[in-house]
Amino acid sequence: MASTILRWYCYRWRVEEYHKVLKSGCQVERYRLAADGIKTLLGFLSVIAVELLQLTYLHRTQPTADAIVILNPQQIRILKAKSPKLPKTLTVGWAVQALAQPAAGIARLGGYLEHRHKTPIGIQVLWRGWLKLHDLCEGWQLAKET
């Protein structure tokens, strides 16, 4: 019984991180909508918050994991197209950072500057980069259809 309670308590930190991503990254408190509208918005933002949480967690704990763990093939193609000099293995670390100029990892798409590479990547930068990557994917898809 005590081990179960301790395990549940350990999950508290992930829940705290999730709320931080939802509030700081997704800026959910910025929206002023009626009850039904906010429920719908929270549904969308919750999915994005989980993706960003997974992205930051894997970047911290498994930066050498294959990039396909966090990105779909189209997202990888777009980041590869924006990065003329590619590493031998496309990893989570590469997908998030890709700091060498003119490479474009998710953080760089969000405005992360190379000279600040000693500073941790913030959730707002990842949020902006994630949105920009999704915009690029949509543009890529639209260009293919025409």
- Write the pLDDT tens digit of every residue in 48-103: 888 888 888 888 899 899 999 999 999 998 888 888 778 888 889 888 886 555 56
- Write down the pLDDT at residue 74: 92
- Write down the pLDDT at residue 34: 73
- Quick check: 48 and 26 in contact, CB under 8 A? yes
Q: Measured between alpha carbons, how far is residue 138 from residues 74, 75, 127 in Å?
A: 10, 10, 17
- Write the pLDDT tens digit of every residue in 9-57: 888 888 888 888 888 777 788 877 777 777 888 888 888 888 888 888 8
The helix (H) or strand (E) run that includes residue 41 is: helix 35-61
Residue spans of the domains in the chain: they are 2-145
Q: How sure is the predictor about 143, in pLDDT bands with cuts at 50, 70 and 90?
A: confident
Give which of 109, 130, 120 is closest to 55, Cα–Cα.
130
Task: Answer with the residue of higher pLDDT: 85 or 139.
Answer: 139
Beta bridge partner(s), residue 91: 66
3-state DSSP percent of the chain in helix, strand and coil, to 5: 70, 0, 30
Beta bridge partner(s), residue 66: 91
Tell the CATH superfamily of the 2-145 domain.
Transferase Inhibitor Protein From Tn5; Chain (1.10.740.10)
